[in-house]
């Protein structure tokens, strides 16, 4: 069934983008609201608006909201390349492959970590939203590497707190174009959605505080391999901050990477890998560090650069 609603735009939303106004009015994510607009499920004063159109108090909205999808019903699904690096009664640490999301979500029909672990027979914590039980942090579908998932309720609580309090040490490896100057440093720049593109993010003065530390570990002729540590965990943070330095991640054409270099290195996605996680184990209290090797496509890019040096 579809829920059709018609109502005037409240005066308090005057001047907002249409997708933002819908998000606030109906409790939708901004991407879900944008999807409804693009699908023609929204009219504004009888017309077919763009997602970026500004609304005005008193204008009439009509929206057709489809019946909610039961994301929690997503069945177990084997995931190629999903590797367990460590597991015990409290948690499981995995090596997440490319093209795999953390959990089911609207608009994503690809494989997920939660489905893959279920297919392996690994039971997770029941804490958290139904579709993301056990998930205490996420990696983008296009980013590979180490990810920890809670199996016990105490692990879920402790790990969520550890990520919030920033006692988890997250080390990423990023191959960026050119040579950052200085070779090591900190980017302290707020991040929010890109002002003209819903699916990108950008350094925005009114954005959320975001801090990234980087250190060059290997300089090649055309690129530099960095160790990157995050103080905050914003969406696309490393990609946005490196692009802001004019040294985008190789292969990341979304944020300005050179497509010619990307093809030469054989990259079809950003060169970004969650290299290791270190945290206090919720059961033993001992510090646990788990490391992931570079996947074949990222290692190939390094081999090409090494051969050219």
Which residue out of 19, 95, 140, 158 is catalytically annotated? 140
pLDDT at 87: 96
Where do you find CATH 3.10.290.10 in the chain?
2-66
The arrangement of secondary structure in 71-165, i.e. its CATH architecture, is 2-Layer Sandwich (3.30)
pLDDT at 125: 93
Per-residue HEC secondary structure of 244-309 comes to HCCCCECCCHHHCCCHHHHHHCCCCCCCEEEEEEEEECCCCCCEEEEECCCCHHHHHHHHHHHHHC
Q: What topology is assigned to 166-309 in CATH?
A: Pseudouridine synthase (3.30.2350)
pLDDT at 193: 83
pLDDT at 110: 87
pLDDT at 72: 58
Question: How far, in Å, CA of 39 to CA of 50, rounded?
Answer: 11
Q: What topology is assigned to 2-66 in CATH?
A: 3.10.290
Residue 227 contacts residue 215 (beta carbons within 8 Å) = yes
pLDDT tens readout for residues 201-229: 999 998 999 999 999 999 999 999 999 99
Where do you find CATH 3.30.2350.10 in the chain?
71-165, 166-309
pLDDT tens readout for residues 63-85: 887 765 555 566 788 999 999 99
Other C-beta atoms closer than 10 Å to the C-beta of 238 total 27
Any catalytic annotation for residue 140? yes
Weakly modelled stretches of the chain, pLDDT under 70: 1-3, 67-74, 106-107, 198
Question: How far, in Å, CA of 248 to CA of 36, rounded?
Answer: 32
pLDDT at 85: 97
pLDDT at 240: 97
């Amino acid at each position: 069934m579809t829920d059709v609603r018609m109502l005037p735009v409240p005066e308090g939303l005057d001047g907002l983008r249409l997708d933002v106004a819908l998000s606030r009015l109906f409790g939708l994510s901004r991407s879900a609201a944008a999807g409804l607009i693009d699908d023609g499920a929204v009219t504004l004063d009888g017309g077919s608006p763009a997602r970026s159109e500004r609304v005005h108090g008193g204008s009439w909205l009509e929206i057709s909201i489809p019946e909610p999808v039961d994301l929690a019903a997503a069945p177990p699904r084997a995931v190629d390349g999903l590797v367990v690096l460590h597991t015990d009664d409290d948690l499981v640490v995995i090596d997440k492959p490319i093209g795999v999301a953390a959990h089911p979500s609207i608009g994503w029909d690809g494989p997920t970590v939660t489905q893959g672990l279920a297919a392996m027979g690994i039971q997770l914590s029941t804490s958290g939203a139904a579709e993301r039980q056990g998930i205490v942090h996420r990696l983008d579908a296009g980013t590979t590497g180490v990810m920890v998932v809670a199996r016990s309720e105490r692990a879920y609580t402790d790990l969520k707190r550890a990520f919030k309090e920033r006692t988890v040490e997250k080390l990423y490896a990023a191959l960026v174009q050119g040579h950052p100057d200085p070779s090591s440093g900190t980017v302290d720049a707020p991040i929010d959605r890109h002002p003209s593109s819903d699916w990108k993010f950008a350094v925005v003065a009114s954005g959320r505080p975001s801090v990234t530390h980087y250190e060059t570990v290997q300089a090649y002729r055309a690129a530099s391999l960095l160790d990157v540590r995050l103080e905050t965990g914003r969406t696309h943070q490393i990609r946005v901050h490196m692009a802001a330095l004019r040294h985008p991640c190789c292969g990341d054409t979304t944020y300005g990477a050179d497509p010619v270099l990307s093809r030469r290195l054989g990259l079809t996605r950003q060169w970004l890998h969650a290299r290791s996680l270190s945290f206090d184990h919720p059961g033993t209290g001992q510090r646990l560090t788990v490391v992931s090797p570079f996947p074949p496509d990222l290692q190939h890019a390094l081999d090409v650069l090494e051969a050219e040096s």
